[in-house]
Structure 1
Amino acid sequence: MPTPRSRFQRPTLDSAVAAWEGRVAPLLEDEPADPAGRRRVAARNDDTVSAALGIAPLPTASEEHTVPVDGHPDVRVRVYWPGEERAPAGSGLPVLVYYYGGGFTIAGIDWVSWDARFRVRARDAGIVIVAADYAHAPEQRFPAQPEQCWSAFEWTRAHAEELGASPERMAVGGASSGGDLAAAVTLMNRDRSAHPIVLQLLENPALDLTMGHADMRGIDARMPGVIVRAAGRTLVRQYLGDDTALARLPYASPLRATSHEGLPPALILTSELDPLRGDGEAYARALSAAGVPVTAMRFIGQTHGSLGSTGYVPAADVAHRLVVSELRTLHARGAA
């Protein structure tokens, strides 16, 4: 009889992810430690990898706006339509307000990889996407980012009809740090306005900035958990500053909210080899315990970033189809 696999045995990296990482690694510049320098190099790396892999944004319609934020810097948003022409006002399309991932310190809607992802999702799901270019830490710190993201959501709702979208078919979503901000927006909405949100889409989200739910069991032995935790704490410090108590506030760590009742239905994707899987899966349990409909899926053999590698990693293609399928259901929800 085969020997049962120990539940403590380290999982195996997907061979397609290993091949993708092997192709990409030689193209990357080493990132410096200082945040601004790291941001510049990371942006160059995104350009380089996107060019090498043939990643290019679709020629779909888009438009930018600047949204004022009370007490904080304005936030730029980019609206994406599913076709090459702007949807006519009053079309009633679902709309997803999305927050990019980048550890609160890097990335943005101008990165080729993010811009391309928004365009293909809008096209494939037949929806409007509004992507918020929230500020980077440490130049701007909490609570600037959740307030910017809340303002982007409120702006989208106020202008939904003229954008060809429906305010009754609004979703929010985000990846990694953007997942933290998306979940924070759902709490802010419950506390402030109670507008209808039909879905929250969280992809490998960071939801507890105390790192109390980080799951290190899936990390490769070459990257000890203590190193991963140290890197995570550095990013959290850049975002929150030196006051560690801020990490327990619900708009910083939505998983630590005293109640999750009344939040929108959720689709949560996690990856086996990602320490943040503990956050996403604990949040799924918290939502379910609060009576919130939730679907959570763990992708075996995947890393924190590999689900973005559509066209190269089969699991990433599956994740894309899953997300698009869920977004398509928004057409049947709410009133036009």
Structure 2
Amino acid sequence: MPRGSRYRRPMLDRAVAAHEAQTAALLAPEPKDPAGRRRVAGENDTAVSAALGVSPLHTATAEHTVPVAGHPDVRVRVYWPGPEPAPRDAGLPILVYFYGGGFTIAGIDWVSWDARFRERARDAGIIIVAADYAHAPEQRFPTQPEQCWSAWEWTHARAEELGGSRDRLAVGGASSGGDLAAAVTLMNRDRAAHPIALQLLENPALDLTIGHADARGVSARMPGVIVRKAGRMLVRQYVGDDTKAARNPYASPLLADSHAGLPPALIITSELDPLRGDGEAYARALSDAGVDVTAVRFIGQTHGSLGATGFVTAADVAHRLIVTELRRLRADS
């Protein structure tokens, strides 16, 4: 190791820098009000996807509305790996997945998320059930975890009907969706104890007190205090001003009293993402509780860069890693 290299500040992957430069001119500035920010963010996603040639595959899908006791219904979209729905009792694994968007933006109708679900379902040969949970601040905790729990219960009850297997169910999510996926595993342990073969967490937010955020690798121009302030703003929109709510384990799964009995996990983090601290601390907590866990940190990557498959080499590697792990759930693998 060259002298002094131990102390070098982490560097942005050149492919990520090129991708960000390519898309920056396409992004309209987002207004501060939540509804306006959500609208413009969706328009930006559409514009960037069109400019980059991102087009969802023609795989079979179906939409359902799932009732949620005491909260708004949640829409789910089922993605099959081929052009036709899988036949009943085909025995395919099913991944119940929750998109990322800081609890406030994005959704299963975004071109980028829809394309990702279709590509993963096809490449892994599995079924994906994606839940379109509600946005904050219009809907706040605990609406979102309850919606995600209901989507999970709905999938478990209809697994064979969808062409899947109750013995090969997985839960996953990215960013805020990773928070919700981990919350669902806790809720499942506490309420039902259905078998979960895998939890897949990508750059997850797992401690909404911001106690594990790690801003050291982000940028010398982005002091940690700014990163934490931005994080707390999103948290307030989600849980409100009650600081106790942020410590609820279904809001901050990392803060649960026990992580014993949770499903095996694959946790992916990025070096230049403040949430890497959450994901890596959660990996240690799971391991300490006797849960099988694999944690992979991608060097030079940011919070969102691993979604840029086809443009960032590391994103392609992350996709292959996830697909390989999901394919292991297949009976014929």
- Give the superposition deviation at 1:225: 1.4
Superposed CA offset, 1:46-84 (max 9, x none): 000000000010000000000000000000000000000
Superposed CA offset, 1:105-161 (max 9, x none): 000000000000000000000000000000000000000000000000000011111
Q: Distance in 2 between matches of 1:211 and 1:6?
A: 27
Q: Distance in 2 between matches of 1:213 and 1:296?
A: 16
The percent of aligned pairs where both chains have the same amino acid is 79
Secondary structure (helix, strand or coil) at the match of 2:31 reads: coil
- Give the superposition deviation at 1:223: 1.6
Q: 1:58 aligns to what?
A: 57
Amino acid aligned to 1:327: L
- Give the superposition deviation at 1:289: 0.3
Secondary structure (helix, strand or coil) at the match of 2:201 reads: strand
Q: Report the aligned-residue RMSD.
A: 1.1
Q: How does 1:1-336 map to 2 (within 5 A)?
A: 2-7=2-7, 9-332=8-331
Superposed CA offset, 1:89-114 (max 9, x none): 11010000000000000000000000
Secondary structure (helix, strand or coil) at the match of 2:180 reads: helix
**Count, aligned residues:** 333
- Give the superposition deviation at 1:2: 2.9
Q: Distance in 2 between matches of 1:74 and 1:300?
A: 39
Secondary structure (helix, strand or coil) at the match of 1:331 reads: coil
Q: Distance in 1 between matches of 2:185 and 2:272?
A: 27
Q: Distance in 2 between matches of 1:231 and 1:323?
A: 29
Superposed CA offset, 1:256-306 (max 9, x none): 000000000000000000000000000000000000000000000000000
Amino acid aligned to 2:5: R
Q: Distance in 1 between matches of 2:289 and 2:331?
A: 25
Q: Distance in 2 between matches of 1:315 and 1:181?
A: 25
Q: Distance in 2 between matches of 1:2 and 1:99?
A: 42
- What stretches of structure 1 of length at least 5 have no aligned partner? none
Under a length normalisation based on structure 2, what TM-score does the superposition of the two structures give? 0.99
Secondary structure (helix, strand or coil) at the match of 1:132 reads: strand
Q: Distance in 1 between matches of 2:81 and 2:319?
A: 16
- Give the superposition deviation at 1:227: 1.2
Q: Distance in 1 between matches of 2:232 and 2:294?
A: 29
- Give the superposition deviation at 1:224: 1.6
- What stretches of structure 2 of length at least 5 have no aligned partner? none
- Give the superposition deviation at 1:332: 3.5
Superposed CA offset, 1:167-209 (max 9, x none): 1100000000000000000000000000000000000000000
Q: Distance in 2 between matches of 1:229 and 1:293?
A: 30
Amino acid aligned to 1:67: V
Secondary structure (helix, strand or coil) at the match of 1:216 reads: coil
- Give the superposition deviation at 1:85: 0.4
Q: Distance in 1 between matches of 2:193 and 2:9?
A: 43
Superposed CA offset, 1:219-276 (max 9, x none): 1112221111111100000000010111111000000000000000000000000000
Under a length normalisation based on structure 1, what TM-score does the superposition of the two structures give? 0.98
Dislocated runs of 4+, deviation >2 Å: none
Q: Distance in 2 between matches of 1:27 and 1:225?
A: 28
Secondary structure (helix, strand or coil) at the match of 1:73 reads: strand
- Give the superposition deviation at 1:6: 3.1
Amino acid aligned to 2:110: W
Q: Distance in 2 between matches of 1:270 and 1:19?
A: 21
